Structure 1
Amino acid sequence: MQILKLDPRALKDNPDDTRRSKSSPQSDALLLATIKAVGIIQPPVASPETGGGNGYVIQAGHRRVRQAIAAGFDEIEVIVVEAANDNGAMRSMIENIAREPLNPVDQWRGIERLVALGWTEEAIGVALTLPVRQIRKLRLLANVLPAMLDQMALGDMPREQELRTIASASLDEQREVWKARKPKKGQTASWWEIAKALSKERMFAKDASFGDDLAAAYGIEWVEDLFAPADEDGRYTTNIEGFLGAQQEWMTSNLPKNGKIVEVNNWGQPELPKKAERVYGKPSKSDHVAIYVDRAGKVQSVAFRMPEERKASRNGVSGAVGDGSAHDGRIVDPPKSRPDVTQKGHDIIGDFRTDALHEALGRAPVEDDMLMALLVLAFAGLNVRVDSGANDTAFEQKRFKRHAARLIGDDGKIAYDMETLRVAARSMLISVLSCRRGMSNSGVVSRIAGNAIGADSFLPNMGTEDFLNCLSRQALEAAAKEAKVLPRQKVRETRSALIDHFRDGHFVHPAALFAPTPDDVAELVKHAELQDREDEDATADGERTDVIGDAEAGAGETDCEADDLHEIPKQDRDEHGAPEQQHAYGIAAE
């Protein structure tokens, strides 16, 4: 690199200059005034001419050279560097982007020049710090009318979808639409109207059920969508009538035995025959199939079922197919015998059984293992519904019966060993307790249970991309500090460093530990204290009622009632003189 004094008129413009759009007269006048006042502060960059010439080609500073000529300078200082392999295309583009943002049209021209020199889209994106999607969007401009490009060069850019629609149309169609909708001078273009006028309905080859023979018969020509994903069939046609006709002919030729071609209604649903019932489950052999073309042009099919046909008998009375003969058309039901117990009787039996069961549970001695077994059996009741977290489904007693069946013998009595009871109890708790968010969440009791049995040691490694994507910058930096990993400048780099660090390790976020928070525990304890106060209030109300009742009945108490009271043994009375049996019933009732 060297600095030379050269005549600005002898410098040649670079044919690969990125900035092609003309600068505004105001900016040129400002630059000229600055050069006249203080000269050129930053010298232009030039390189020796290649291909046998002895001149110099401008690499950066075209405007400075032009304004120096306008200012009447005979010589200016120029930084001379060696010519690059791409004739300075990438250097020119980076230099222009750094000084003043290029308009999208100039960016596209520079990108196309780099692609022609062998640069890939990914490499260009890395060099210019642009996403590949933006580079592909700019490359759509290659199919745009030049008059539209001039409008876009002024900074009036359409949206990506509108640009795709415009670029997919032919130049003749773009020219006609632009002639009708060209904006006035100084106004922006209505790109959505232009895109709407150029848009055409497409039918894609991936939705076609017919083959190439029908496509040729109906005059269908497939057009390749250059902007479709690489792993998809992007061919399409705008011959809508031909496409739908080929689909109809294919359905007619491939109609199944019980099939029927139907139309679609205004909502895009098939119009089934009258009285037909659509089958949403697995169809049977006797069901029918309705075939139709949906709004996207794809062949669809649904199963439907027709009601049973009725045939008339000899005397004119109709009967269902497969039924027995009917003498007068009326259905004769067999006489019903009266059950031994009516429904009301079963209700009474249910009340009696429930009261007896609750009393036995409140008073009868029950061993610990039997109590655990009854706990397992209770979850298998018909009135139990648990939103389980075992497999993200809500199930009822059918799922619990398999746990209860392990504890029942062939004679219907509870028969088990302690190992079987432990397995059943563990299985039942697994089905019931859940920490998943939603209806299956068991609340703070599941966290207390997990903390009690040391479930923290069973938590998996959370140092994965799926979980770390859910953490904020502060949380990631805190985790990195705890793991002694240096936080990076970007969040995704810090996340990648943590993933690599915990790839062979084990990371558990503090928020995932089972230990409940003090607020959750206080909320749970508050419910117990509230229940105790309600029980005390109920007991106090009962004692006041008993005192009032005794005072009212004391004057009229008969000698016979007193004698009955004295007949109760002292050991069966409590400290207040009430029978112990009545006190036990009170506890069971509570």
Structure 2
Amino acid sequence: MELKFVDPRSLKDNPDKARRSKSSPQADALLLATIKAVGIVQPPVVAAETDGGNGFVIDEGHRRVKQAIAAGLDEIAVLVVPRADDGGAMRSLVTTIAHEQLNPVDQWRAIERLVALGWTEEAIGIALAQSVRQIKKLRLLANVLPTMLDHMAKGDMPDERQLRTIAAASLDEQKEVWKAHKPTKGDRQVSWWAVANGLAKTRMYARDASFGDDLREAYGIAWVEDLFAPADQDSRYTTDVDAFLGAQQEWMTQNLPKKGVITEANTWGEVKLPPKAERVYGTPKKSDHTAMYLDREGKVKTVHFRMPEAKKAKGKGAEDAGGDDEAIVVSKPRPDVTRKGIEMIGDLRTDALHEALSRAPIEDDTLLALLVLAFAGQNVRVDSGAGGEFRLGGRFGRHAASLFDAEGKFDFDMDALRIAARGVLIDVLSCRENISKSGIVGIVAGRAIGADGFLANMGTEDFLSCLSRTALEASCADTPVLPRVRVKDTRAALVEHFKEGHFVHPSALFAPDATVLSEWLAKSAVTEVEDEEALHAAGVASEDQVAEGDATEEFDEDYREAAE
């Protein structure tokens, strides 16, 4: 074998070459670009002509020679080998079959090696006749769990969207999901849909953001480039949904028109307008109002609405009555605590309430009062003989069963009764924001037994991220932490401060709202007439009837039976 430098135009095609079909224009363009960038990496193999000529016949590398000519090379290196008896037909076939295109994982590994050697993505793209965007896509495989990469290298690749989702997740998250969905022995396929679905996160896109860099920095939002998105589209996104929505809410507050209101979308994604408001679909008038809200994708939307004309007042002072132009529309800024935060408070309250019911000292009269209170909660349903379709879970049977002795007699001591009563209260009372919520009675019960002292530390990243800028800065009171320019920095400082301390947000305390409590008491109060009717239905004389001597012997007898 001998290495020589020859003019590629002097080389002759082998009539026994294995590859006869034309290669694709894309493949030829790729090879041409590679040759122009780095030359011919692997010299073609040639053999001397057997018909007395002084030239060489190509055994391997017909496409390389052709593209070298197209690249304008005057000279290339070739390996000269002895002419085979079959004219090189077998050698050409074996070489062609042995060549296999690199899978994406191996391409990525090769690209990473080039980058480590000092190659830029632009230079690699030119050499491989691929766009820089494609090189960046391959480099995203660096974010994929190594065990996943090993499986992908076997040929089982996720589609582009699935790969994008996987690469965007942390390695720890990938490890947990891969553990649940990796193929078993003998199974060569992976459900990449299940893997991607397990790693999917809600994305908020920069193209949907109304806020600028000032609020982005204040809320600590870092954009991530989605390199799989179309080239003509701003694909930057964040998975920090709370921070994105907080910045959007603050932008709306700062840019709210004079006669505007910040509202929200309903379950179907439609805007909620003030009562009696009529939406304006055409050109708004000067007297119309503006409503700003966030849709399901976090975009700021603006609609106009019209309030009904105010009725003119009659009599004295009619001339002072204001018209529609004077109508005041109160804006709705971002709440101090987001919906997620309220749900977290519900969970923390419930845990504290149950802990207090288990451990806090409770007098017997308070315990009995709490039992009555608990069953007045909005989450309690009872199948009652008095009528009505209510229900109560059978889980309370275990508490009642503890009051029976081994022979099935209803027999207990006060300690057993106290334990059973506490167990019933724990099962019934709840402050969670779901169907189990007891309502105002759960807050009252918590205050009665000092459940505030059992609330967990809320000075955590999870909870503090649910607070508005105003509420977050208010939480710095009575601490050495000073509000920062960026909300993210203020939050981080508070988290660090409360690592060794204990923080409870005022909204989480067991402090019943006076208005809600008054409304509940007014709605639940039993009138004297209703009390008389209840006694009569039970066949028992009222105190007034007994005092006035109106109680009949029948009532007296029934009363004695009820007492017994």
Q: Give the TM-score range, shorter chain.
A: 0.3 to 0.5
Structure possessing the higher radius of gyration over alpha carbons = 1
Return the structure number with greater relative CO, CA threshold 8 A, min gap 6: 2
Please report the TM-score for the alignment, with normalisation by the length of structure 1. Answer: 0.34
